[in-house]
Structure 1
Amino acid sequence: MYHWFKPWRVLSVLAALLFTSSLQAGELVRIAAASDLRYALDDIIELYREANPAANVQVVYGSSGKMTTQIINGAPYDIFFSADIAFPKRLEQEGLTATPPAVYAIGRIVLWSNTLDAEGLTLNDLTSDSITRIAIAQPAHAPYGLRAREAMQAAGVWEAVQPKLVFGENIAHAAQMAASGAAQVGVIALSLAKFPELATHSHYLIDDNLHNPLTQGYVVTRRGGDKPEAMHFADFMATEQAHSIMEQYGFVMP
Structure 2
Amino acid sequence: MRHWLWLLSVLFCSATMAAPAPKVAAAANIKFAMEQIVSQYHADTGRQVQVSYGSSGNFVTQLSHGAPFELFLSADEKYVAALVDKGVTLDAGHIYAYGKLALAVPNNSPIQLDSQLNSLKQLLADNQINRFAIANPEHAPYGERARELLQHLGLWQALQGKLVYGENVSQAAQFALSGSTDGGIVALSLAVAPQFRQRSRYIVIEHDYTPLAQRMVLMKSASVEAKQFYQYLQSPKAQAVFTEFGFGLPDSR
- TM-score under structure 2 normalisation? 0.88
Measure the CA separation in 2 of the matches of 1:112 and 1:35: 16
User: Which residue number corresponds to residue 250 of structure 1?
Assistant: 246
Once the two structures are superposed, residues 212-233 of structure 1 have per-residue CA deviations (whole angstroms, 9 ceiling, x without a partner) of: 0111101001111xx1111111
Measure the CA separation in 2 of the matches of 1:93 and 1:106: 22
Structure 2 counterparts to residues 186-225 of structure 1, below 5 A = 186-200=184-198, 201-206=200-205, 208-224=206-222
Partner SS state of residue 210, structure 1: coil
Measure the CA separation in 2 of the matches of 1:99 and 1:63: 22
Shift in CA distance, 150/138, structure 1 to aligned 2, threshold 3 Å: same
Measure the CA separation in 2 of the matches of 1:38 and 1:203: 18
Measure the CA separation in 2 of the matches of 1:141 and 1:109: 16
Q: Percent identity?
A: 36
Partner SS state of residue 24, structure 2: strand
Once the two structures are superposed, residues 205-251 of structure 1 have per-residue CA deviations (whole angstroms, 9 ceiling, x without a partner) of: 12x33000111101001111xx1111111011111110110000000
Listed as ranges, the gaps of 5+ residues in structure 1 are 1-14
Structure 2 counterparts to residues 81-230 of structure 1, below 5 A = 81-114=73-106, 115-116=108-109, 120-121=113-114, 122-127=116-121, 128=123, 129-200=127-198, 201-206=200-205, 208-224=206-222, 227-230=223-226
Residue 49 (str. 1) matches residue 42 (str. 2) = yes
Measure the CA separation in 1 of the matches of 2:9 and 2:215: 40
Partner SS state of residue 27, structure 1: coil
- TM-score under structure 1 normalisation? 0.88
State the shift of 1:164 in Å: 1.0
User: Which residue number corresponds to residue 235 of structure 1?
Assistant: 231
Listed as ranges, the gaps of 5+ residues in structure 2 are 1-6
Q: Is the 8 A contact 1:124 1:157 kept in 2?
A: no
For residue 161 of structure 1, what is the amino acid of its counterpart? L
For residue 246 of structure 1, what is the amino acid of its counterpart? F
User: Which residue number corresponds to residue 3 of structure 1?
Assistant: none
Supply the RMSD in Å over aligned alpha carbons: 1.9
Residue 32 (str. 1) matches residue 25 (str. 2) = yes
Q: Is the 8 A contact 1:119 1:204 kept in 2?
A: no
Once the two structures are superposed, residues 170-208 of structure 1 have per-residue CA deviations (whole angstroms, 9 ceiling, x without a partner) of: 0000011122222111111000011112122220212x3
Partner SS state of residue 120, structure 1: coil
User: Structure 2 residue aligned with 1:68, among 60, 72, 88?
Assistant: 60
Partner SS state of residue 109, structure 2: coil
Measure the CA separation in 1 of the matches of 2:13 and 2:235: 27
For residue 44 of structure 1, what is the amino acid of its counterpart? I
User: Structure 1 residue aligned with 2:50, among 58, 66, 70?
Assistant: 58
Q: Is the 8 A contact 1:118 1:203 kept in 2?
A: no
Partner SS state of residue 185, structure 2: strand
| Count of aligned pairs between the two proteins | 236
Measure the CA separation in 2 of the matches of 1:159 and 1:60: 34
Measure the CA separation in 2 of the matches of 1:211 and 1:87: 17
Measure the CA separation in 2 of the matches of 1:117 and 1:190: 20
For residue 235 of structure 1, what is the amino acid of its counterpart? Q
For residue 43 of structure 1, what is the amino acid of its counterpart? Q
* Runs of 4+ in structure 1 over 3 Å off: 15-22
